[in-house]
Amino acid sequence: MSDIAGNILSLKSQLPAHVTLIAVSKGRSLPEILDAHNAGQEDFGENRVQELSDKRSALPDTIRWHLIGHLQTNKVKYAAPFVFMIHSVDSLKLLRVIDGEALKNSRIIRCLLQLHIAREETKFGFSMDEVRIMMESGEIESMHNIQLNGIMGMATFTDDEAVVRGEFRYLRECFSEIRTRYQKGNPDCNVISAGMSGEYNIAIEEGSSMVRIGTGIFGERNK
Ligand SMILES: *Cc1c(COP(=O)(O)O)cnc(C)c1O
């Protein structure tokens, strides 16, 4: 068995049943992705639309493609025909564009709101106040071609476990508030996408239901 297949199987046996594994395949070759797919992995994540659509056209359509990186509004149209879930929705404007492009494709696109939880300035995402304003406007309810499935967050890149844990815990509190105050009638709002190779166990302990793992499956990325 290849290392990649072995990593997939061992992760799947470790993860609790309610946690979905996203194999992050950015920068990986088609044979590497096929290797993971042949080991039973169906969900793959990419952070660039161009790479996503190139790989999608070259690989089996049994793969579910997740977009996990920052998305510009002018790129939405390239992903809209096939993307399974967009984890990185970070503005109302982007959500409107996704809704419009999904309609053109007669699709409903699953979306997660990305929340800014890290200390770093550079990470994209809504603040919880911005989410509240958007939710209170009621506009999401009028978007019929998106399905709001939950939220996504990225923790600060640090070895300080307490910082990372605190950020994931805050993400879960935000999720609870969104669900109970704004999405009560939406049973599909049930995803917290959080945790990467270095900290997925902490994320799961703090309530993550979807982990995004790259190096833990495919090895270190080449520079
Ligand atoms: C690259 C990436 C990951 C995976 O990171 P690893 O450390 O390789 O597991 C997860 N989420 C996002 C948004 C990424 O860009």
- Cα 43 to the chain's mean position, in Å? 10
| Domain membership flag for residue 45 | yes
Binding site membership of 88 for ligand 1 (Cβ less than 6 Å): no
Calculate mean pLDDT across residues 40-58. 98
Cα–Cα nearest to 116, from 52, 70, 83:
70
Mean pLDDT over each residue of the chain, to the nearest integer: 96
pLDDT at 177: 98
In angstroms, the CA 88 to CA 94 distance is 10
Binding site membership of 26 for ligand 1 (Cβ less than 6 Å): yes
Model confidence, pTM:
0.97
* Segment 52-104, tens digit of pLDDT: 999 999 999 999 999 999 999 999 999 999 999 999 999 999 999 999 999 99
Give the contacts of 222 (CB within 8 A, at least 6 positions apart): 27
| Ligand 1 midpoint to CA 134 (Å) | 27
| Domain membership flag for residue 197 | yes
- Which residue segment(s) compose the domain that 182 sits in? 3-218
pLDDT at 223: 52
* Segment 116-171, tens digit of pLDDT: 998 877 768 999 999 999 999 999 999 999 999 999 999 999 999 999 999 999 99
SS3 115: strand
Q: How many domains does the chain have?
A: 1
Q: Report the b/e string of 56-69 with b at 16+ CB within 10 A.
A: beebeeebbbbbbb
In CATH, what number is assigned to the domain containing residue 73? 3.20.20.10
| Domain membership flag for residue 223 | no
Binding site membership of 113 for ligand 1 (Cβ less than 6 Å): no
**Confidence at 221, pLDDT banded by 50, 70, 90:** confident
| Ligand 1 midpoint to CA 49 (Å) | 15
